Structure 1
Amino acid sequence: MSRFDEIKNLVMGLEADFEKFYEKGNQAAGTRVRKGMQDLKTMAQDIRKEVQDKKNAG
């Protein structure tokens, strides 16, 4: 479950930047949101590969 916790922490860490960007129009926060979402995409892809490998091994 640690992988799930990593994703949860990443998303929760972006909450303030989402708020700053969408509610206050802070452009730098938008950049941080985009970077965080790219990290989330990469993490999700790694987890997908890990699950597929484990499924195929067992």
Structure 2
Amino acid sequence: MENFTKVKELVASVEADAKKFYENGNSAAGTRVRKGMQDLKNLAQTIRAEVTEKKNAK
């Protein structure tokens, strides 16, 4: 559950940069959004592995 909380925090932290990129065309903000999305992908994969491990342990 700790990693799920991290996902919510990460999405919230990327939101401001996403607005800057999409609404204002700020390229540097776009780079930060891409990095945040990569971090989100990695965290999601970690959560998937944890869920599978816990499910198979039963």
TM-score range, shorter chain: over 0.9
Report the number of matched residues: 58
Paired with 2:26 and 2:32, the residues of 1 have a C-alpha distance of 10
Paired with 1:8 and 1:46, the residues of 2 have a C-alpha distance of 14
- 1:34: how far off? 0.2
TM-score normalized by the length of structure 1? 0.94
- 1:22 alignment partner in structure 2: 22
Q: Unpaired segments of 5 or more residues in structure 1?
A: none
Paired with 1:42 and 1:28, the residues of 2 have a C-alpha distance of 22
- The one of the two structures with greater contact order (alpha-carbon pairs below 8 A, sep at least 6) is 2
Q: Indicate the RMSD between aligned Cα atoms, in angstroms.
A: 0.7
TM-score normalized by the length of structure 2? 0.94
Structure 1 consecutive aligned stretches of length 4 or more whose deviation exceeds 2 Å:
none
Q: Does 1:52 align with 2:52?
A: yes
